[in-house]
């Protein structure tokens, strides 16, 4: 059995280093499965912290965390994100996001994954609208709402979606901390205002 935290972190670092040198995904997966079998969820969380940007590492480790802590919304979101980035598909990721929302309705990451996984553009826009209503200060969700509403307006010549996109971009403009962001938003808003349905 791997000792908690320090030994696990060292063994994981060695496994990732070997993978980065060799590119041997099969070898990495085998080593990750060996490491996770002898570790507690808490030890895996600590060890995985440096590798959350690597879905091929975070995914297998967080599968074990979620097995041990099935109602841990934060872990479910990390696993959902790792699966999304590795191409596991919206059904699997959406199910994890829904579980995370059920476990912790205040987890914004869960709501973001839930909205992101909707395949239908109109329904995805509605989901992002729901996220912005639940979290009114969430600028990332507002940007996603504006982008999806803009795409919907273009694809379906939908005036309501066009107005939603413009209004949301205007809200973002009012909150923008830099001149560069405001200029980019002004360009988007002007383009949408000139759009002919």
Has residue 186 been placed in a domain? Answer: yes
> Three-state secondary structure along 33-70?
HHHHHCCCHHHHHHHHHHHCCCHHHHHHHHHHHHHHCC
The per-residue pLDDT for 6 is: 60
**Residue 1 above 50 pLDDT?**
no
Joined together, the tokens standing for residue 124 give 């995805």
Q: What is the mean pLDDT of residues 22-32?
A: 97
Is pLDDT of 197 > 90? no
* pLDDT value at 7 more than 50: yes
| Residue 194 in domain | yes
Does any domain span residue 65? Answer: no
pLDDT at 93: 98
Residues 118-156: tens digit of each pLDDT: 999 999 999 999 999 999 999 999 999 999 999 999 999
Tell me the pLDDT tens digit for each residue of 45-68.
Answer: 999 999 999 999 999 999 999 999
CB 2 within 8 A of CB 8: yes
Look at residue 159 and tell me if it is in a domain. yes
Number of domains, the chain: 1
> Does residue 191 fall inside a structural domain?
yes
- CA–centroid distance for 142 within its chain: 15
Q: How far apart are CA 95 and CA 80, in angstroms?
A: 9
Indicate whether 110 belongs to any domain.
no
Residue 11 lies in a domain: no
Tokens of 125: 């826009």
Q: Which domain holds residue 152?
A: 120-197
Q: How confident is the model at residue 2 (pLDDT cuts 50, 70, 90)?
A: very low
148 found inside a domain: yes
CB within 8 Å of 107: residues ≥ 6 apart = 73, 74, 77, 100, 101
Average pLDDT value over all residues in the chain: 95
């Amino acid at each position: 059995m791997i000792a908690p935290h320090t030994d696990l972190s060292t063994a994981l670092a060695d496994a990732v280093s070997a993978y980065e040198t060799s590119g041997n995904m099969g070898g990495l997966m085998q080593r990750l499965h060996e490491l996770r079998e002898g570790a507690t969820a808490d030890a895996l969380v600590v060890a995985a912290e440096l590798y959350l940007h690597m879905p091929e590492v975070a995914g297998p480790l967080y599968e074990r965390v979620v097995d041990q802590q099935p109602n841990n919304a934060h872990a479910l979101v990390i696993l959902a994100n790792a699966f999304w980035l590795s191409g596991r598909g919206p059904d699997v990721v959406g199910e994890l996001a829904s579980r995370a929302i059920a476990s912790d309705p205040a987890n914004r990451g869960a709501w973001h994954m839930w909205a992101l996984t909707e395949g239908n553009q109109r329904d995805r826009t509605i989901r992002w609208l729901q996220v912005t209503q639940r979290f009114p200060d969430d600028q990332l969700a507002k940007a996603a709402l504006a982008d999806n509403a803009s795409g919907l307006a273009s694809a379906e010549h939908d005036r309501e979606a066009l107005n939603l996109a413009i209004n949301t971009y205007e809200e973002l403009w009012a909150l923008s901390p830099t001149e560069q962001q405001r200029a980019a938003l002004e360009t988007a808003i002007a383009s949408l205002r000139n759009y002919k349905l």
